[in-house]
Structure formats: C-alpha cells, structure tokens
Amino acid sequence: MNNLSDYITIDKDVLGGTPVFKNTRVAVKTLFDYLEDESLDEFLKGYPSISRAQAETIIQLAAEKFLTALEDESIA
C-alpha cells in the first residue's frame, strides 16, 4: 500500500507548511485545482517536475481516503 508520506511533504519552511509533492515546491492542491477545469495532461505540461505516476498516485490515494471516510460516516 502506498503511504501519503512517500509522495507528499509537509514542511513549515516550504510554502508555509502547505502539502507539496515530495522534493518539489508544487502544492498538491494545485493538482486538484487544475482538475476542476483542465485535464491531467494540462497539469503535467504546466508542472514538468511532477511525473504522471506521482499525480495518478496522489489522485488514487485521495480517492481511497475519501471512500474510507464515506464508509466510516455511513457506519456511524
């Protein structure tokens, strides 16, 4: 199983603690902002330091966390 810490860094000295793709200064939120109106390909063109595999893994992990939260909420 993939861990978020393998792909995301949170460091108060990098963008004030905003979660970023590991070893970059690209905020993870930027990926999701792009996906509201643009394609993953457009995001990757704009941020060539992020690989498709990194972006897809973040999307997958976010989906898993979201679905787990929904399941937990429906049980409560």
- In tens, the pLDDT along 10-31 reads 999 999 999 999 999 999 999 9
pTM above 0.85, yes or no: no
Residue 17 corresponds to which amino acid? G
- The sign of the torsion formed by the CA atoms of 25, 27, 8, 39 equals negative
76 residues of the chain, pLDDT tens digit each? 577 788 999 999 999 999 999 999 999 999 999 999 999 999 999 999 999 999 999 999 999 988 888 887 776 5
Q: Under DSSP, is residue 9 helix (H, G, I), strand (E, B) or coil?
A: strand
* Separation CA 11–CA 23 (nearest Å): 11
For the chain, domains (ranges, CATH) are: 4-75 (1.10.10.10)
